[in-house]
Amino acid sequence: MNRTYSLLDKASGLLVFCALLVVNYLSVRRLSAEATNPLSFVVGNAGRVYAQAGPGNLAAIDANGGSVLWNFHDENLRVFTKAAFSSSALYVAATKANSNSELIKLDIVTGKTDWRVPFVSLGGNASPVLCGAEVLLPDYWRRTVSAFNAKTGGNDWKTDSLPFLFLFPPAILDDNALFLVADRVDPENKQQLVSVSCVDGHLGKALPVRVDGVSRTPVLLYKESVILSGYERGQGTSFHAVRASNGETLWSKSIPDEVTRFTPIIEDNLLVSGAASLWFIDLEHGKVAFRESLPKPSVPVAVADGLVFFSRGDRIVEARELPTGKLRWRMKLEGKISSNIAVAGKHIYVKTGADRLAELSMAGEVDRYVQIGGWRRR
């Protein structure tokens, strides 16, 4: 049976107390903007681009012609997360004006709703992850995970009864999810890599690991190793390469004064990310191959054709070569950048303002601006 709770409900005092304990550890040292001002996501998938076009409106755009294929709209919804995709559907979570949220399955061709299920405490940029036949979604405050059946939307299992804080998102290996977890009683000092069966939620192999501070990025896989990150105020970001078979630390690298807020990308042997700086880490040796400070933190970057695309300030998109960091091109857009950068087909996409999508060629020319807002489903 699905139960929903509101943090404003006086009868849920015990839940509020437990949530505050978790917040004390996981939220005090986070940038508050991550919880209260989630990104507007743009995602490319199979020749289409999906983007939020104002509160409660999600649009699908043809990457070839720029036409809007469909819009999903619900005036009760506010912010959509990044979507997860199967061959026939997309799964996206959305916040409401109150503390409740929803997980929604949409037909990838028509945008029509297959199912919608309520969810609680969807905060930050906690996007769903597809693992086998299950859609994994985290409870932001309690640091637990629920698995919803991708076909029916039924809640198949939860991690509430386990003595761990689940740090989302995991790496996916077949029908298993590899999570970084922390002990509820001693989260700073007792952390593990845990394999969880996406079929039934049962725990598999567990390896003790150590991450400095709060983990801020997903579990990433590189060859036979796992890449983990941590952030400590005053120390910056640190990355750790851990052998997947036994938890042995292969290398660690500190990037002082850097807050890695978004998902780094693995491209060949490089870890590519952008926040206060654009930087590449050589994953074989853990050395910084390139780093350049930015005047303003970049939105999440994209990589394609040997180039990394990132924002410089509010209106400029730049392309740099991998692994040298050499400038390939720079383009100033008409409006302020309001999303991550995404690649679909041979184009680069980024939102400008509330409901306009800029489409750039790989050579850095703006091909068109696509209006994606203002439409309502009847």
For the stretch 245-257, pLDDT in tens is 998 999 999 888 7
With beta carbons less than 8 A apart as the criterion, state whether 273 and 264 touch. Answer: yes
Neighbours of 295 (CB within 10 A): 10
By three-state DSSP, how is residue 98 classified? Answer: coil
The count of residues in the chain is 378
CA distance 264 to 253: 14
* Side chain identity at residue 66, one-letter code: G
Q: What is the mean pLDDT of residues 125-151?
A: 92
pTM of the model: 0.86
Q: Please, which residues have CB within 8 angstroms of residue 350's CB and are 6 or more apart in sequence?
A: 42, 299, 311, 317, 333, 337, 339, 340, 341, 342, 357, 358, 360
% the chain with pLDDT above 70? 87
Least confident of 147-151, 234-238, 337-341: 234-238
pLDDT at residue 39, as a whole number: 60
Q: How much is the mean pLDDT over the chain? A: 86
**What span, in angstroms and rounded, lies between the C-alpha atoms of 293 and 181?**
32
